[in-house]
């Protein structure tokens, strides 16, 4: 299998705070991988480190084999990496459609171009209905859909999704789960940080468990049942 993302000995700092202490993980092309762990375990910092959004990084971060540890965030994005942060980052003064049209195309390596508006609206009917509404007038679920849809417009094929189900109604969470399944069928590679274990468990091909800035366990979907006791210990699920 082709490795889309490889982290080796990754260490990261915010100022003098040493957050990641040698993270090693691999995500293969077309996989859905979930990072599990308590708050403060280092999961979001792992995502931000991939994008170059921390103060200091050491070790190795490879995207499709290309070393990115010294690249700026916009250079990482141009390798076809899309990051959906927990805070979503919707431009409130712009309409839904203007938000979708704003990002540049970043897909590379012969990737298909980003999704067109018709494809986006077919995947997210709520956004089609609210295409002329300002970002501030969207519900939390609609804003989350918009944040993900905006990345899909760019042509990114490696998606880093941070807590996309947090605080959303069950019907919206179900719609986001359907979206992830559809994207996997289209060959997207997805790394998720999730507190909602019931949401993440059936979606992921593999799981990494983080504790104190390190990977402490990894296992495949087929091994989930055998690892539930360990997850109870680490996560309280």
pLDDT digits (tens, 9 = 90+) for 134-147: 988 898 889 999 99
pLDDT band of 111, cuts 50, 70, 90: low
pLDDT at position 231 is 87
Give yes or no for residue 132 having a pLDDT over 90.
yes
Give yes or no for residue 112 having a pLDDT over 80.
no
At 172, list the tokens.
């919206």
In whole angstroms, how far apart are CA 80 and each of 102, 130, 145, 228?
16, 28, 19, 34
pLDDT tens per residue across span 164-185: 998 888 988 999 999 999 999 9
Strands 206-211 and 214-220: antiparallel
Domains of the chain and any CATH numbers: 32-52+70-235 (3.40.50.300)
pLDDT at position 98 is 94
Q: Which residue has the higher pLDDT, 28 or 108?
A: 28
186 contacts: CB under 8 Å, gap ≥ 6: none
> For residue 103, what is the DSSP state?
S
63 contacts: CB under 8 Å, gap ≥ 6: 4, 5, 50, 76, 79, 80, 81, 158
> What is the average pLDDT value for the chain, to the nearest integer?
91
Whether the Cβ atoms of residue 146 and residue 127 lie closer than 8 Å to each other: yes
In whole angstroms, how far apart are CA 90 and each of 141, 143, 145?
12, 7, 10
- For residue 97, the Cα-to-chain-centroid distance in whole angstroms is 22
pLDDT tens per residue across span 60-71: 999 999 999 999
Give yes or no for residue 107 having a pLDDT over 80.
no
């Amino acid at each position: 299998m082709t490795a889309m993302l490889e982290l080796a000995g990754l260490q990261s700092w915010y100022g003098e705070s040493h957050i990641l202490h040698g993270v090693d993980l691999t995500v293969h092309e077309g996989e859905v991988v979930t990072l599990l762990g308590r708050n403060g375990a280092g999961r979001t910092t792992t995502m931000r480190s991939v994008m170059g959004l921390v103060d200091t990084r050491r070790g190795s971060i490879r995207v499709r084999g290309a070393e990115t540890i010294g690249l700026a965030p916009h250079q990482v994005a141009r390798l076809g990496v899309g990051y959906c942060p927990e805070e979503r980052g919707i431009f409130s003064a712009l309409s839904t459609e203007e938000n979708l049209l704003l990002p540049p195309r970043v897909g590379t390596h012969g990737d298909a171009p980003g999704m067109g508006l018709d494809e986006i609206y077919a995947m997210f009917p709520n956004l089609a209905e609210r295409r002329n509404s300002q970002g501030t007038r969207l519900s939390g679920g609609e804003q989350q859909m918009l944040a993900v849809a905006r990345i899909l417009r760019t042509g990114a094929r490696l998606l880093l999704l941070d807590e996309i189900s947090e605080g959303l109604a069950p019907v919206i969470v179900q719609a986001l789960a359907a979206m992830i399944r559809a994207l996997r069928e289209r060959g997207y590679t997805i790394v998720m940080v999730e507190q909602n274990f019931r949401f993440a468990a059936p979606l992921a091909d593999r799981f990494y468990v983080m504790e104190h800035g390190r990977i402490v366990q990894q296992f495949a979907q087929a091994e989930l049942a055998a690892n539930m006791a360990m997850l109870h210990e680490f996560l309280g699920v």
